[in-house]
Chains A and B, each alone.
Chain A
Amino acid sequence: MTESLYPFLHAPSSDVDELVAQVRASTVAKVHEAVRLREEVFERERERLAVCARAMAERFAAGGRLLAFGNGGSSTDAQDLASLFLNPPGEARPLPAFGLTNDIAVITALSNDVGFDVVFSRQVAAFGRKGDIAVGLSTSGNSTNLLPAFDEARRRGLLTVGFTGGDGGRMAESPAIDHLFVVPSASVHRIQETQTALYHVLWELVTS
């Protein structure tokens, strides 16, 4: 695995200058790829982002709230996204939003008593009201706790928004997701970076 990421690691040279030069070149290449991927995704998704933002703004205007969820790095994005709406920078109006990964008592109770696959769907069932917005983030689209959460959200009349990566995974096949944004990359890191830019823009469109 390392070989494909950093072929020079396995090269015979042990010259420090050469290593640093190679590291610098690979870093520059990755940053260029991060920028290129954003441009590709925004060119393709600009109209759909606007449609999604309008639907979210209508929900907020009618008293809806936003519930965000994800696993691992995506859980931190879910919390960041929720906090961006709840405690925005500048003069933007705060909107009701919360992450479903914030309460470790709830997460461990559900995992221990029922199973990890229900940690988000049970919370959607507990908190979700018709008119709310459910936002789930995954880099693979295959998280087995996200799919039932979207199903539960759809059943309860929530607007559903999904972020995924690669080929979209099982989230791309889910009939329960109203607005799905796929970042076509094989790198989890590049996917997360572009998803961050996507939800930043979505927030700007919703609040503007």
Chain B
Amino acid sequence: MAERFRAGGKLVVFGNGGPSTDAQHVAVEFVHPVIMGKRALPALSLTSDVATLTGVAARAGFAEAFAHQIRCLGEPSDIALGLSADGECENVLRALEVAREAGMLTVALAGGDGGTIAATGAADHVLIARSADPLVVKEVHVTTYHLLWELTHVFLERAGVA
């Protein structure tokens, strides 16, 4: 992720239901860091544009809600991060597929056994919180993306090392 940011890429984040709020949390984490002195990094939640979300869903179906946005807004140097509590969200899966075709780095935070998202290898990096309880999955995901943010900055600052 640090390499992508260094190359001028941005982060696009998406998820359904509770994880849609996590997508927005991840975006604000990168854009406006809580720790003073950390640089702002470009990150965008695909759940915030309700006009596009409902427009695409009504026209092409909800499965295309995120994939459409990635097709139009995504660039090869970007990072796509999808969240799914059971790993079965079709629109998250579709978005990861489109992102990979576009040359983006793909990351998934899943729960349960990782579901179809883990089984199909849809993402370059799949981090699984192995619980059937979506609330426990969420709690682990929050810590996971807090750490992902911190570690991204660690590797950004140690540009010569990794």
Contact residues of A with B, CB < 8 Å? 1-2, 5-6, 9, 14-16, 19-20, 23, 27, 30-31, 34, 72-73, 75-77, 79-80, 83-84, 87, 89, 139, 188-189, 192-193, 196-197, 200, 204
Assuming the A-B contacts A76-B28, A193-B146, are A89 and B21 also in contact, with contact meaning beta carbons closer than 8 angstroms in the complex? no
Residue of B nearest to A200 (CB): B135
- Do A196 and B138 touch (CB < 8 A)? yes
Q: Which residues of A contact B134 (CB under 8 A)?
A: 89
Q: Which of B35, B146, B151, B161 contacts A14 (CB 8 A)?
A: B161
- Do A1 and B28 touch (CB < 8 A)? no
Main secondary structure of the interface of A (DSSP, over half): helix
Q: Which of A15, A20, A73, A200 contacts B25 (CB 8 A)?
A: A73
Q: Which of B21, B28, B138, B154 contacts A72 (CB 8 A)?
A: B28
- Do B17 and A193 touch (CB < 8 A)? no
Min distance, Cβ A87 to any Cβ of chain B, angstroms:
7
4 more contacts with CB within 8 A, not counting A76-B21, A77-B21, are A1-B35, A72-B28, A77-B25, A189-B34
Q: 9 A–B contact pairs at CB < 8 A?
A: A1-B38, A2-B153, A27-B151, A34-B143, A73-B25, A76-B25, A80-B22, A83-B18, A196-B138
Residue of A nearest to B22 (CB): A76
Min distance, Cβ A169 to any Cβ of chain B, angstroms:
15
Interface residue B3 (Cβ < 8 Å from any Cβ of A): no
Q: Which residues of B contact A75 (CB under 8 A)?
A: 24
- Do A14 and B135 touch (CB < 8 A)? no
Complex-state Cα separation, A20 to B139, whole angstroms: 25
Residue among B25, B36, B150 facing the most chain A CB atoms (10 A cut-off): B25
- Do A23 and B154 touch (CB < 8 A)? yes
Q: Which residues of B contact A27 (CB under 8 A)?
A: 147, 151
Interface residue B7 (Cβ < 8 Å from any Cβ of A): no
Min distance, Cβ B114 to any Cβ of chain A, angstroms:
18
| Complex interface residues of chain B between 14 and 58 (CB less than 8 A to chain A) | 17-18, 21-22, 24-25, 28-29, 32, 34-38
Complex-state Cα separation, A77 to B19, whole angstroms: 11
Min distance, Cβ A50 to any Cβ of chain B, angstroms:
18
- Do B143 and A1 touch (CB < 8 A)? no
| Complex interface residues of chain B between 73 and 126 (CB less than 8 A to chain A) | none
Q: Which residues of A contact B154 (CB under 8 A)?
A: 6, 9, 23
- Do A16 and B18 touch (CB < 8 A)? no
Complex-state Cα separation, A192 to B17, whole angstroms: 19
